[in-house]
Structure 1
Amino acid sequence: MSAASRRSRAPADAIQLLTADHKEVRTLFKAYSQLIHAEGGDDEKQMLALEICTQLTVHATIEEEFFYAAARQMLAGDEDLVDVADVKHACAKELIMQIVRSAPADPLYDARLRVLSEHVDHHVKEEEDELFPKLRSSGLDVHALGQAMAARRDDLLAEMAGAE
């Protein structure tokens, strides 16, 4: 199933949208790990790795453009979690770039995917356990924000599909 076809669902709110993204990328990382253990072919590995990179790139973009901006406003004076998230996104983007620019034959390819998975897992845990609860209780209009984020996500996925 392609990213675009999975993205037609409409989230109830921004936090639910991001949580669904987290679940989806965990599933993709698990599939990649299973592919490694099954000694899957390079074409399969690259296709799945690029899907992971696409999903993470789109997710990070909508978080940075919408969610983190709203979080900074709602948590004024207590923005440490957002600052850390921004730095973690920068690290993830660097790994994504390395993955996209390489191929499964690269001896570090699988290691990069593993490190990215571990990095994303830690980041997701911080968001879901700390940032999301703070924002949910802050009065943030998560429904309106979710609609804007979903629309931007769909636009980004369409742009990326057109660039392929």
Structure 2
Amino acid sequence: MAHGGNVIDELMADHREVEEMFSRLQAMSGAGQGLRDLIDEVTIELVRHSVAEEQYLYPAVREHVPGGDRMADKEIEDHGRVEKILKRLEKMNTDDAQMSPLAQQLMDEVASHVQDEESNLFPMLQRACTPQQLDDLGDKIRRAKTMAPTRPHPAAPNSPTASKLLAPGAGLVDRARDFVTGRGTS
């Protein structure tokens, strides 16, 4: 699925990319740099995606979808659980016996989140918004992902306002660290 288009198309393209990464992760045997690189790739994509959703998607859900506050709160809680797992994976050696079970926990959490968004949230948002609103949200999501952090920051505030203020700075620092270390380039 190609990136571009409205917010739903954009986020579903992200979901398919992460699913493909998870397939590669499940097929991988052993530890080492290849596993670290793939965990880093998954982390970068999930963090960027989550930050963009928290900045733009969930505020739109709150505004336009009946019961949107409850839905957005649930999705943000899902993100919090995923971010904590990502932080643990980031600190873990690839030969740690807990790496595989923790990676499976991550895949399960993300799969559940994706299923909920695609089955419930996206159809409700599509019915509640005009095509132009969905296109505008897609543009905002794409821009946000370019500025978003690439590493988990579970202690950072997750309100849209705080995220819009803090994420670009954290993203700049993360991308500088990534450049120096070569993270995310394989």
SS at match of 1:103: coil
CA, structure 1 residues 20+10, in 2 after alignment: closer, same or farther (shift >3 Å)?
closer
- State the match for 2:177 in structure 1: 163
Please give the per-residue CA displacement for 1:51-79, whole angstroms capped at 9, x wherever unaligned.
10111011100000110011111125443
- State the match for 2:5 in structure 1: 12
SS at match of 2:95: coil
| RMSD (Å), alpha carbons | 1.7
- For residues 78-97 of structure 1, what are the structure 2 equivalents within 5 Å? 78-97=68-87
| Equivalent residue pairs, number | 153
**Runs of 4 or more above 4 Å deviation:** none
Correspondent of 2:93 among 87, 97, 103: 103
- For residues 7-156 of structure 1, what are the structure 2 equivalents within 5 Å? 10-35=3-28, 39-140=29-130, 141-156=133-148
Higher relative contact order (CA 8 A, sep 6+): 1
Whichever residue aligns with residue 135 of structure 2, its letter is H
Identity of aligned residues (%): 22
Question: Residues of 1 paired with 2:71 and 2:10: CA distance?
Answer: 19
Whichever residue aligns with residue 46 of structure 2, its letter is L
Question: Residues of 2 paired with 1:48 and 1:10: CA distance?
Answer: 21
Unpaired runs of 5+ in structure 1?
1-8
Whichever residue aligns with residue 104 of structure 2, its letter is R
TM-score (norm 1): 0.87
Question: Residues of 2 paired with 1:126 and 1:82: CA distance?
Answer: 11
TM-score (norm 2): 0.77
Question: Residues of 2 paired with 1:78 and 1:21: CA distance?
Answer: 22
Whichever residue aligns with residue 144 of structure 1, its letter is D
Question: Residues of 2 paired with 1:163 and 1:69: CA distance?
Answer: 30
